[in-house]
Amino acid sequence: MKQYKILIFGLFFMLVLVACTKLDENFESELQQTQTSSIPVADLLRGAYNSLANPFMDQSRLWAAQEHTTDEVIGPTRGPDWDDNGVWRVLHSHSWTSEHTFLRETYRELLQAQYAATNVLQFNPSAQQAAEARFIRALTVFVVADGWDQVPFRDDLQDLKKTPTVLKGPAALDFVISEVNAIMSTLPDGPAYVANKDGARVLLMKAYLNKGAFASRQNPTFEAADMNQVITLADQIINSTKYTLANNIFDNFAPDNDVKSTENIYTLYNKDGDRGGNVRSRWFLGLHYNMKPSGWNGFTTLSDFYNKFGSTDQRRGGSYPGMTDVGGVRTGFLVGQQFNEKGEALKDRKGNPLVFTPEVKLKETGANLEVTGIRVMKYPIDYSGGEQADNDYVIFRLADVMLMKAEALLRTNNAAGALVIVNAIRTKRGATPLTSLNPEALLDERGRELYWEGWRRQDLIRFGKFLQPWQEKPTDDPKYLIFPIPAEQLAVNPNLTQNEGY
């Protein structure tokens, strides 16, 4: 069962350090002495794993950057609720600035995770411990390069007064590819919540698939050699027969998904009373105040995105054991009248029927502002009552691997082979098979399969759709293809330069 069950303590430096911060000699010396004498390498590694929790799982961090900026998520201001000085609205409308709080904090926390992983390497870890730490570091480098294009990087923490170098775009991907290939044979085979060989293969697939987009986000290109790498890596994972498409897609996200899922390849560990992050936000952020549990009545999807699903598609959701019978909440998309576990119709706080409508605006001011927007429940609710939900947070899973292989085939003129893969997924999900496949149809299929999992912004950029208008967002400036470098980072690292347009 799940390992790594000791809460990390004493890693205060990881919680406060910005990767670019200059530390004085006394603190540096004290830090190294403390780590050497009192913190085992195994605990440092647990700390590195823990450092991924907030930037990946908190609803205001990487998830917001990758989903609120797309056609899948909108965070409407509901009268006096959810204004937050417009931080949610500007993400969806593509009007953020270099002062955006959540983008700044996401960047900072990802660099902290990179630092924590690199720190493990300073204290004679075992070969496997070093490989796991290097995987965590490579993952953070990839994610930062994807969002901000510039990654402050230290390979050696012995001289913290030295300004970090900066890896940009393609150079960052070259590092990720080299690093992951170097550690592949040393990584363990599993379980999913530990950095493992197949997780490394998926990260490599992401790197090769996005090479052309990182080089030119406005005009991505796709080299046949890179696409062949994607296909080869996918086949290694698929042909291992370790993974199968789940009979119920929502099992991959359930409180016991470490046991129940047959798809998950790499996840972030969550266990009540042990360790984890704010995975509970994935249901609180959409549930109404009068639902069980009482939610925050915030984010929704958009009707145009919801309408991409066929009526028989399992991914639209439905009742789920241990959830619907306990609180009345269904998985997938919540639209229309909502009910409790007894089948009784729920009401909003004014006594009106709690009927979620497809219509939603960035600013809601009417009498129905509590019910506008289709809510999304990708993660089944953990009703155990603890402070920490047990749903492991999904980073990589088999369906994504299959769809990336299909994309690589399509981009190398093998639409027939790609169609077979896509229809295998659609058949498993109860959707009608497609008769043909083009890039737009494949992008739609990635949306249907991977909605709210944190890949939509990257996908839209790679398919050339990110700057196009959609509901509540006009056509916009190409500068929004990359996030701005936070001012605090520019102030301490002269190797960073502000991205164009900010």
- pLDDT per residue, tens digit, the chain (502 aa), is 444 333 333 333 333 343 433 333 333 333 343 345 379 999 999 999 999 999 999 999 999 999 999 999 999 999 989 999 999 999 999 999 999 999 999 999 999 999 999 999 999 999 999 999 999 999 999 999 999 999 999 998 888 888 999 999 999 999 999 999 999 999 999 999 999 999 999 999 999 999 999 999 999 999 999 999 999 999 999 999 999 999 999 999 999 999 999 999 999 999 998 888 999 999 999 999 999 999 999 999 999 999 999 999 999 999 999 999 999 999 999 999 999 999 999 999 999 999 999 999 999 998 899 999 999 999 999 999 888 899 999 999 999 999 999 999 999 999 999 999 999 999 999 999 999 999 999 999 999 999 999 999 999 999 999 999 999 999 899 999 999 999 999 999 999 999 999 9
What is the C-alpha to C-alpha distance for residues 240 and 262, in angstroms, rounded to an integer? 13
Q: Which of 328, 319, 333, 363 is nearest to 347 (CA)?
A: 328
Phi/psi at 407 (5° precision): -65, -45
Q: Which of 176, 180, 175, 195 is nearest to 128 (CA)?
A: 195
Per-residue b or e along 273-300, where b marks 16 or more CB atoms closer than 10 Å to that residue's CB: eebbbbbbbbbbbbbbebbbeebbbbbb
3-state SS assignment for residue 141: helix
Residue with tokens 């790499």: 266
pLDDT in the model for residue 385: 85
Phi/psi at 470 (5° precision): -145, -175
DSSP element (H, E) containing 489: helix 487-492
pLDDT in the model for residue 386: 83
Determine the Cα angle at 458 with ends 447 and 380, to 5°: 45
In the chain, % helix, strand, coil (3-state, to 5) comes to 45, 10, 45
Domains of the chain: 12-270+481-492 (1.25.40.390), 281-387 (no CATH)
Q: How many CA atoms lie within 13 A of 114 on its CB side?
A: 26
Q: How many CA atoms lie within 13 A of 270 on its CB side?
A: 27
Q: What is the pTM of this model?
A: 0.93
Q: Which of 330, 322, 366 is nearest to 348 (CA)?
A: 366
- Say if residues 403 and 459 touch (Cβ distance below 8 Å): no
Those residues with Cβ within 8 angstroms of residue 417's Cβ, 6 or more apart along the chain or in another chain: 406, 409
What is the C-alpha to C-alpha distance for residues 132 and 188, in angstroms, rounded to an integer? 9
What is the C-alpha to C-alpha distance for residues 187 and 174, in angstroms, rounded to an integer? 20
Q: What is each CA distance from 364 to 81, 123, 361, 413, 419, in whole angstroms?
A: 10, 54, 6, 46, 41
Those residues with Cβ within 8 angstroms of residue 252's Cβ, 6 or more apart along the chain or in another chain: 246, 261, 263, 264, 394, 397
pLDDT in the model for residue 38: 73
- Say if residues 390 and 271 touch (Cβ distance below 8 Å): yes
Q: Which of 82, 83, 116, 88 is nearest to 102 (CA)?
A: 88
Phi/psi at 279 (5° precision): -65, -20
Residue 181 burial (CB < 10 Å; 0-12/13-18/19+)? exposed
Q: Tokens for 122, please give them.
A: 């300073």
What is the C-alpha to C-alpha distance for residues 364 and 206, in angstroms, rounded to an integer? 38
pLDDT in the model for residue 366: 87
